[in-house]
Amino acid sequence: MRPARPPFLIRPVLLLAVLGGAFVAGAAWAEGTPMSANKTPAASSADTYPPSRVCGAGALTLWECRLPRQRVALCLAAKGQGAERLQVLRADKAGRVELLAAGGGGTKLRYEMSPNGDASLEFLRDGRQVLLIDPLRGPSILEQEMHGRVQRSECRNPNQTLSLNHTVALLRALGITASS
């Protein structure tokens, strides 16, 4: 009988496969024609992102955070121009939806990716900050700051979508590039 392979030997192989896939996807993006802000690859992206009742029909759910009494989602609206298509919506248990942040119209957006795989997207407007933090390991975090008061909530669902190649490509198409 052959001895079992130690788990630490499997991880490097998986890491190489993931990095190789990311390299190929990045090379394909670099060689291809960049998408316009109005022509995002909805068909292929719809398969990548699970739908959310928060975003509604016709919108892509790029990130979702489940909290005890509400859900918060980063939605890409089907209509609109550029970054104005991005919305952070909150829905309570009764289904009432509230807009927390939106791109465009004077909102400063900052998208960051770190070498360790963590990613974040910040919306800043009129002294109000909404920050979506998506660490590679562990649950996502929703952070809101208004008038110096910070509220930080850990999501109940493991989520790793802000650093996906599809998300990076969609944000680039909207004119939002990552800083590191």
- Check residue 46 and give its pLDDT: 59
pTM: 0.72
- Check residue 45 and give its pLDDT: 56
Residue 115 lies in a domain: yes
Q: Which domain holds residue 91?
A: 36-179
Residue 130 lies in a domain: yes
Instruction: Name the nearest CA neighbour of 172 among 87, 117, 109, 107.
Output: 109
Please, what is the Cα angle at 164 between 117 and 10, to 5 degrees?
A: 60
Residue 17 lies in a domain: no
CB neighbourhood size of 13 (10 A): 10
Residue 97 lies in a domain: yes
Angle between helices 7-31 and 165-173 (to 10 degrees): 20
Q: Record the tokens describing residue 112, joined without a space.
A: 């960051």
- Check residue 40 and give its pLDDT: 47
Instruction: Name the nearest CA neighbour of 133 among 108, 106, 161.
Output: 161
Dihedrals phi, psi of 32, to nearest 5 degrees: -80, 170
Residue 137 lies in a domain: yes
Looking at this protein, which amino acid is placed at residue 68? P
Residue 81 lies in a domain: yes
Residue 100 lies in a domain: yes
Residue 21 lies in a domain: no
For the chain of 180 residues, list the mean pLDDT of each consecutive stretch of 10: 46 39 34 39 60 87 92 92 93 92 92 91 92 91 90 86 86 84
170 SS3 class: helix
To which H or E segment does residue 173 belong?
Answer: helix 165-173
The tally of domains found in the chain comes to 1
